[in-house]
Structure 1
Amino acid sequence: MGKLPLLNGFIGESTAFREMLAILARVARYDTTVLISGETGSGKEMAARAIHYQGQRRDRPFIPVNCGALPDHLVENELFGHARGAYTDARESQLGLIAQAEGGSLFLDEVDALTAKAQVSLLRFLQDGQYRRLGSSLVETADVRVVAACNSDLSQAVNRQEFRADLYYRLTAMELHVPPLRARENDAVLLARHVVAEAASQYQLAVKDLHPDTVHWLLAYGWPGNVRELQNRIQREFLLCDGPDILVREIAPDSDRRHRADRRIACPATLNFNEAKQQVLHAFERGQLLRLMSESAGNVSGAARLAGKERRALGKLLKKHGIEPEQFRRS
């Protein structure tokens, strides 16, 4: 295994991945609020950390908080802190996360889970950098960059009147979308090999390669849990593997098949005839190429014979779909 491309804590080579990193670098350059969108497990907190550590505040604190994990009545207490006597058990005053992040960045994950009252308080803070601790009349000031994240379309929450429009516009001064793993071409294979190498080092075991069938599965599966799901699954398969390489032949459950790479096509009813035809052909070609590469263990000539095509023509199709034969070969 060669050295993997590791950038800002991310691993990948796909077009979608590199485009995201390019936008991330620009976002980090400007000291303003950011909204990061992306599916669960896709790496939003990692993106937030990369924005912080590439930015002007890299030497100051990075404070993460999962808004969805906080009980409604504690959200404002956690963010803004409280004064002594603010409530029955408040025997001492307490700094909130905003004060702890002074000079640095506050990462608000699942920002759409904030209560209506907390949204108002956050909006006021974003407008002038001022806030009040619970139970205090003293107005305090903090210099903090807010980076927020959500795994849903926050604009739709605004349309449903579940999230304040004025807060949404404050948070979207800059935006970054972290692509799902299924949209990142062959990155699942790179990530899987990285997970194996790290697990081998952690548990002092020999590194094992991926069986060609496992490579096929990695590329065909839709990864609804994204990178986090891949990390957990591949580490488990590695630790339980008794053979010379890691073999997974699992077919995604019916409930997950809509997420598979070869089924991620738009509803034909929304497309004209030619567009629908092209999408179906694209999905068919990719599925067949993955099967051929798996059956031939990455041998392009062998795959061409199986397909009844010329090697050069098959090679062009592999390039068109971004499929690397090396990933199907045994080490």
Structure 2
Amino acid sequence: MVHKNDISKQLEDLTALYEITKQLASSKELSECLESTMFILSEIKGMENGTVSIVNPLTGNLEIEVAHGISAAGKKRGKYRIGEGITGRVVATGEPIIVPHIAEEPLFLNRTGARENVKKQKRSFLCVPIKDGQNIIGALSVDIIYKNGITEQANTDLQFLTVLSSIIAQTVVRVQKVNRETEELYSENLKLKRELSEKNKINDIIGNSSKMQEVYEMIHRVVDSNATVLLRGESGTGKTLVAKALHYNGKRKSAPFIVVNCSALPETLLESELFGHEKGSFTGANELKIGRFEQAEGGTLFLDEIGEISHSVQVKLLNVVQERKFQRLGSTNLIECDVRLVAATNRDLEKAVAEKNFREDLYYRLNVFPVYMPPLRERRTDILLLAEFFLEKYSKENNKKIIRISTTAIDMLIQYHWPGNVRELQNCIERAVLICDGDTIKSIHLPPTLQTAGNSSREKPLSLSVAVENFEKELIVEGLKRNNGNQTKTAKDLDTSLRIINYKIHQYNIDPKKFKI
């Protein structure tokens, strides 16, 4: 005859297993699902100090992966050699162990310090191995108080824990496999990105973001062509660098590269500057002047701020673009020219055409191969890369040994909206280098406009989960910096396991190699 109490215990076990299986099956993070498991054991089964210890593949020792009811300091102390103490013996033999009374067991080491006052309690300790086939990968242990002393119930609980350990083993193997596959995919992704970056790399242009990869691809497509290129984008996005890249990476690199800022000169001077003039062609023309089109013969002429030129200059420029011929001011002779034309503007030329401020025919002649330069706020992954480049540059120029940028300063740089784009970032880092007296750029060294970046660039506050992720990432990055990128030391420093650190590093796309000195 089955006793009602036995039925109640069986229902309790089934409920616990059901809830635990749900947690283990749904979670992708080992520590998270194991912590839930230990909590359920405590709430439903009344088992205390639940601990899962896993064999560290690097050291070969047992280390606590999760611990319910044990302090962080205690968890950190909970390390055992295989065969050492009760837990070490369970892993060494592969057999479960029941300790009827912890206080009377000399092999019980209490390394975690969680059972200091157990002499008066009838506290028992149950420990079972966690097996992957024949391979023992760890141990599951709990404390439990049997009011009537050790009875048949202890064996039933041991059987329950054995079943649970097999489920945990499957979860550990599954998560480890997923982590390995994720790591392989992550490594392969980094490899492909490096290959793509090397393939598309353009001298003097910094950036690995997807937006910049598109720019590199466009440059490579047109670099050896004679087609006119129109660079579009806000001021400070690097249009001049792209114009230089088009010239110095192309077939005209041995010929001149001539730059004309169309907005810096008045109409009369700009015309003379572009096409030259004959002696005596106007008051003050005391000698022959060779224009920029002639100076750029065989090479590239870069017309910056093309949207600012007057209608009369637009007409003459159109003739040059169409016919590849021009006349000096005061001359009737046509001069042929072989020049690659690159133009740039931050104006909305389509709007200017619609408003009759820019000739439509010239617009279509210039807009043969447009290249859009993204603003810095659209390529935030490049901000730190650019900042570090400028940091190194200005540190050398000013004979300073500034080696890094603090996490808080990095956050401010990333959050700021950068209306002045790369040029503003460059000035910002140069200023920071000049006023920094230590080896680290801190938030106080950044301009006042960045000090309120967190408030001005975000419409609503961060959610709790995102704020926690940001804080967690900052802790890990700072830990890696303190330990020169060593993940094992970082895990110890942050009072967590190497497995969790490895998982978080991949989750947040952190590259530990960047922090090696």
**TM surpasses 0.5:** yes
Q: Which moved more, 1:80-89 or 1:202-211?
A: 202-211
2:473 maps to what in 1? 293
Distance in 2 between residues matched to 1:284 and 1:135, nearest whole Å: 72
Inter-CA distance 137–259: structure 2 relative to 1 (3 Å threshold): farther
Residue 219 (str. 1) matches residue 399 (str. 2): no
> For 2:314, which of 113, 119, 122 is the aligned residue?
119
Runs of 4+ in 1 over 6 A off after TM superposition: 253-259, 280-288, 310-317, 327-331
- SS of match in other structure, 1:186: helix
Inter-CA distance 157–124: structure 2 relative to 1 (3 Å threshold): same
- SS of match in other structure, 2:302: strand
CA contact (8 A) 2:412 2:453 kept: no
Distance in 2 between residues matched to 1:159 and 1:257, nearest whole Å: 39
- CA apart distance, 1:257: 8.2
CA contact (8 A) 2:416 2:450 kept: no
Inter-CA distance 78–138: structure 2 relative to 1 (3 Å threshold): same
Q: Which moved more, 1:95-104 or 1:233-242?
A: 233-242
Q: Deviations over 1:27-65 (max 9, x none)?
A: 213211010011111110000010111222111100001
> For 1:174, which of 363, 369, 383 is the aligned residue?
369
- CA apart distance, 1:217: 0.9
Residue 54 (str. 1) matches residue 234 (str. 2): no
Inter-CA distance 235–82: structure 2 relative to 1 (3 Å threshold): same
TM-score with structure 2 setting the length: 0.52
- CA apart distance, 1:286: 6.6
2:426 maps to what in 1? 231
CA contact (8 A) 1:294 1:328 kept: no
Residue 31 (str. 1) matches residue 215 (str. 2): no
Alignment of 1:174-323 (within 5 A): 174-248=369-443, 252=449, 260=457, 289-290=469-470, 292-294=472-474, 297=477, 318=508
Percent identity for Structure 1 against Structure 2: 36
Residue 151 (str. 1) matches residue 346 (str. 2): yes
- CA apart distance, 1:193: 1.0
Inter-CA distance 142–11: structure 2 relative to 1 (3 Å threshold): same
- Give the gaps of 5 or more residues in structure 1: 264-279
Inter-CA distance 203–127: structure 2 relative to 1 (3 Å threshold): same
CA contact (8 A) 1:110 1:150 kept: yes
TM-score with structure 1 setting the length: 0.80
- SS of match in other structure, 1:7: coil
Match for 1:69: what amino acid?
A: A
Equivalenced residues, count: 302
- CA apart distance, 1:133: 0.9
Inter-CA distance 7–282: structure 2 relative to 1 (3 Å threshold): farther
Distance in 2 between residues matched to 1:25 and 1:129, nearest whole Å: 25
1:277 maps to what in 2? none
Q: Deviations over 1:78-126 (max 9, x none)?
A: 1001111111111211111001001111000000011000000000000
User: Higher RCO, 1 or 2 (CA under 8 Å, sep at least 6)?
Assistant: 1
- SS of match in other structure, 1:11: coil
Distance in 1 between residues matched to 2:254 and 2:282, nearest whole Å: 35
Report the aligned-residue RMSD. 3.4
CA contact (8 A) 1:36 1:175 kept: yes
- CA apart distance, 1:291: 5.4
Alignment of 1:93-132 (within 5 A): 93-132=288-327
- SS of match in other structure, 2:384: helix
Distance in 1 between residues matched to 2:371 and 2:320, nearest whole Å: 22
Inter-CA distance 209–311: structure 2 relative to 1 (3 Å threshold): closer
Match for 1:118: what amino acid?
A: V
- CA apart distance, 1:293: 3.3
Match for 1:239: what amino acid?
A: L
Distance in 1 between residues matched to 2:375 and 2:411, nearest whole Å: 18
Match for 1:85: what amino acid?
A: G
Q: Which moved more, 1:102-111 or 1:193-202?
A: 193-202
CA contact (8 A) 1:14 1:187 kept: yes
Inter-CA distance 284–185: structure 2 relative to 1 (3 Å threshold): farther
- CA apart distance, 1:69: 0.5
Match for 1:135: what amino acid?
A: G
Residue 22 (str. 1) matches residue 227 (str. 2): no
